[in-house]
């Protein structure tokens, strides 16, 4: 299992770094593919609730394309498509067959996955988007690694035993420290980023990443499954690998907008 994880990381990390550096259509294409795959995993898990797959895929793709072409307003406009599509779906659905529940689980997939990947597009498209997206991905993965090893070696206090029994408070603290240190490391190569802002963004990425991981863990425990999929050997599914990053990306984007503003190339 460890060998499989390392092999996937050895192949995936260089590809991911290249896509972040290239940006543009390359990054957009990767975001679309990953979002569709993650959404497929989620809708497969909640298939008994009968989500409307077509509505979910169209709305998620529209949100991501809207973010690329029109920024925040495009992301919102793409997401609002789901309301129109759900309305027409509701008009043809049979009342009393859990229509509201089916619509709710469809929307959850779009909000959780579609708009979250759209936020990664928004973040990368900022004037200083490259160092910020590197901060998000690096702080998330670096913090996750620190949490794993410190938790295994020194973890004594369970953080969320009902959701993820193996996660510890000691590991979570180490994860935040690791994320903050990575944020400070990004600052070394970006003079426009102050030490305080680098530290804040690293902590925000670390905290949001852990929250995203716990959110997916809670969903999987509720659905009584171990992994969201099997596409990545040793890692599970796409959603298992990107659950932290999509939460962290959205959090760091809005933190950059409100805390850094024009320095990050973002105007309110």
Dump pLDDT digits (tens) for 99-143.
Answer: 888 889 999 999 999 999 999 999 999 999 999 999 999 999 999
Residues 6+ positions from 32 with CB-CB distance below 8 Å: 61, 64, 65, 117
157 and 242 within one domain: yes
Instruction: Show Cβ contacts of residue 203 under 8 Å, excluding neighbours closer than 6 positions.
Output: 176, 179, 180, 183
Same domain, residue pair 134 and 113: no
Q: Range of 57's domain?
A: 1-125
Confidence at residue 27, expressed as pLDDT on a 0 to 100 scale: 96
Of 267 and 153, the one with more pLDDT: 153
- Same-domain check for residues 134 and 267: yes
The reply to whether 174 and 97 lie within a common domain is: no
> Given the structure tokens 């990050």, which residue do they identify?
264
Would the pLDDT of 268 be above 60? no
pLDDT of residue 82: 84
Specify the pLDDT at position 1: 59
């Amino acid at each position: 299992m460890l060998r499989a994880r390392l092999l996937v990381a050895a192949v995936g990390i260089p590809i991911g770094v290249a896509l972040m550096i290239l940006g543009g259509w390359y990054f957009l294409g990767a975001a679309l593919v990953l979002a569709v795959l993650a959404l497929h995993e989620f809708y497969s898990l909640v298939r008994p609730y009968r989500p409307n797959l077509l509505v979910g895929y169209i709305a998620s793709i529209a949100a991501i394309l809207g973010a690329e072409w029109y920024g925040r307003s495009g992301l919102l406009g793409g997401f609002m498509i789901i309301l129109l599509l759900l309305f027409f779906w509701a008009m043809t659905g049979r009342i009393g067959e859990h229509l509201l529940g089916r619509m709710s689980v469809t929307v959850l997939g779009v909000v959780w996955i579609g708009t979250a990947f759209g936020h990664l597009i928004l973040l990368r498209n900022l004037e200083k988007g490259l160092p910020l997206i590197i901060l998000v991905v690096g702080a998330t993965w670096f913090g996750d690694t620190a949490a794993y090893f410190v938790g295994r070696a020194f973890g004594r206090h369970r953080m969320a035993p009902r959701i993820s029994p193996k996660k510890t408070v000691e590991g979570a603290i180490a994860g935040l420290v690791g994320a903050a240190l990575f944020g400070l490391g990004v600052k070394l190569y970006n003079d426009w980023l102050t030490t305080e802002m680098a530290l804040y963004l690293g902590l925000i990425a670390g905290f949001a990443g852990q929250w995203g991981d716990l959110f997916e863990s809670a969903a999987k425990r509720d659905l009584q499954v171990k992994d969201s999929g099997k596409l990545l050997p040793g890692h599970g599914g796409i959603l298992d690998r990107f659950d932290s990053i999509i939460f962290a990306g959205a959090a760091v984007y809005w933190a950059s907008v409100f805390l850094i503003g024009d320095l990050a190339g973002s105007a309110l």
